[in-house]
């Protein structure tokens, strides 16, 4: 008879939508979050026999998120995630590890009082793991769309019989940045890291998106001494010159076709030389 065993497993409440309004005399503050909780521990009985003695309901996890938002507020998504993760491990004897991931959707006031506008596709992120190894925090941003109209080239690349791409001495460079960064100690203010990413993209004369990736990661490490590692994923949002010759018109780098797919995807890690790198916590599922 074949035998089977239970492998790694976790459970939790995913994508808890939370909007908190801080009522202030000088204008309200709006925080818009998407919170996901995952817990690990002595949970085999629930899988093997349906015994739920060790299972804290996911509905309770959802309620905890809302209650903590009211009781403690949300100073930053990193501190809010850490408070939740530590709570679940500390209060549930069968839970030994917790992972809380948060996405923050930015809103900007339009009147300084009560009206807001949503800021595009950019989302702030934070993931906190808490368990026997301590607490680890990774901050980041996703969907940060950047574009340069010039100061970008791409030439000298390998060619074979299937290559049709012409070499470019002047092109549009566009991407949608997904970035995460680790700190050696407690999480720091994420804005300097984000600003460094944007600044490096803008002032780096690029001969390849790979070069821009390294410049962006390096700038974060230069500006943020607590950051020890930056991970970047940069899709190349291709812009192709339109051939206007059939209409008797030239096209001096003015009219482009913006292609959404397929796209090049450049990914990499930039680390501080010689600095201790935190051991990454990887949950296999």
**Domain final position from 88, 105, 132:** 132
Specify whether 238 is catalytic. yes
Number of domains in the chain: 2
Q: Which of 58, 79, 94, 142 is catalytic?
A: 58
Spans of the chain below 70 pLDDT: 275-282, 284-285
**Domain final position from 68, 100, 132:** 132
Are 214 and 192 within one domain?
yes
Are 32 and 63 within one domain?
yes
Q: Say what the pLDDT of residue 282 is.
A: 66
4 assigned to some structural domain: no
Q: Say what the pLDDT of residue 284 is.
A: 61
Specify whether 105 is catalytic. no
Are 147 and 103 within one domain?
no
Hey, CA dihedral for 127, 130, 131, 133, is it positive or negative?
positive
Q: Say what the pLDDT of residue 124 is.
A: 96
Q: Which of 3, 13, 159, 204 is catalytic?
A: 13
Q: Say what the pLDDT of residue 127 is.
A: 94
Domain carrying residue 125 = 10-132
Q: Say what the pLDDT of residue 281 is.
A: 64
Are 164 and 229 within one domain?
yes
151 assigned to some structural domain: yes
User: Which CATH number does the domain housing residue 49 bear?
Assistant: 3.10.270.10
**Domain final position from 132, 160, 191:** 132
Are 114 and 31 within one domain?
yes
Are 17 and 118 within one domain?
yes
What tens digit of pLDDT does each residue of 26-51 get?
A: 889 999 999 999 999 999 999 999 99
Q: Which of 62, 129, 148, 238 is catalytic?
A: 238
Contact 81, 65 (CB under 8 A): no
3 assigned to some structural domain: no
């Amino acid at each position: 008879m074949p035998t089977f065993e239970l492998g790694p497993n976790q459970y939790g409440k995913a994508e808890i939508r939370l909007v908190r309004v801080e009522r202030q005399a000088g204008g309200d503050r709006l925080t818009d979050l998407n919170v996901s909780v995952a817990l690990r521990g002595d949970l085999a009985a629930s899988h093997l026999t349906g015994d739920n003695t060790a299972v804290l309901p996911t509905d309770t996890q959802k309620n905890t998120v809302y209650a903590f938002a009211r009781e403690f507020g949300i100073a930053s998504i990193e501190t809010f995630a850490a408070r939740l993760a530590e709570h679940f491990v500390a209060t549930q004897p069968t839970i030994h590890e917790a992972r809380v991931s948060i996405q923050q959707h930015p809103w900007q006031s339009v009147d300084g009082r009560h009206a807001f506008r949503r800021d595009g596709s950019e989302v702030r992120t934070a993931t906190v793991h808490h368990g026997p190894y301590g607490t680890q925090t990774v901050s980041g941003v996703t969907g940060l769309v950047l574009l340069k109209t010039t100061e970008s080239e791409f030439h000298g690349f390998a060619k074979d019989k299937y290559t049709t791409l012409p070499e470019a001495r002047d092109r549009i460079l566009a991407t949608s940045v997904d970035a995460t960064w680790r700190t050696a100690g407690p999480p720091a203010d994420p804005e300097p890291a984000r600003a460094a990413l944007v600044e490096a993209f803008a002032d780096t004369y690029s001969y390849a998106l790979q070069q821009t990736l390294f410049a962006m990661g390096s700038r974060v490490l230069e500006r943020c001494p607590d950051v020890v590692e930056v991970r970047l994923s940069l899709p190349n949002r291709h812009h192709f010159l339109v051939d206007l010759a059939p209409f008797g018109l030239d096209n001096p780098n003015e009219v482009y076709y913006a292609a959404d797919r397929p796209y090049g995807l450049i990914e990499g890690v930039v680390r501080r030389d010689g600095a201790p790198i935190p051991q990454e916590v990887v949950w296999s599922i």
